[in-house]
């Protein structure tokens, strides 16, 4: 039996494997991390163990809702 480790969003981000729309990045704050636009505004907050797909989805939804790249 093989145990498959789940890649967290934070680990994926640090490994360059979390693909976010242009102008988005994450910041680590204790046991949470936050998704931000380049203008500094916070988009969402996640537990450190969040799935990469969850973070990427939130960024994409916000990117489409703003109608332009955050800059």
> What are the pLDDT tens digits along the chain (71 aa)?
555 667 888 889 889 999 999 999 999 887 899 999 999 999 999 998 899 999 999 999 999 998 755 44
Helices (runs of H) and strands (runs of E) counted in the chain? 2, 3
- Kindly state the tokens that stand for 15: 């490994």
- pLDDT recorded at residue 48: 83
Q: Choose among 62, 61, 18: nearest CA to 37.
A: 62
- pLDDT recorded at residue 30: 78
Are 7 and 55 spatial neighbours (Cβ–Cβ below 8 Å)? no
Report pTM.
0.80
For residue 55, give the 3-state DSSP assignment. helix
- pLDDT recorded at residue 4: 61
């Amino acid at each position: 039996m093989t145990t498959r480790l789940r890649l967290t969003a934070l680990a994926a981000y640090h490994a360059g494997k979390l693909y976010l729309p242009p102008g988005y990045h994450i910041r680590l704050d204790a046991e949470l991390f936050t998704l931000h636009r380049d203008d500094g505004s916070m988009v969402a907050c996640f537990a450190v163990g969040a799935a990469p797909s969850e973070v990427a989805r939130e960024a994409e939804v916000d990117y489409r809702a703003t109608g332009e790249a955050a800059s």
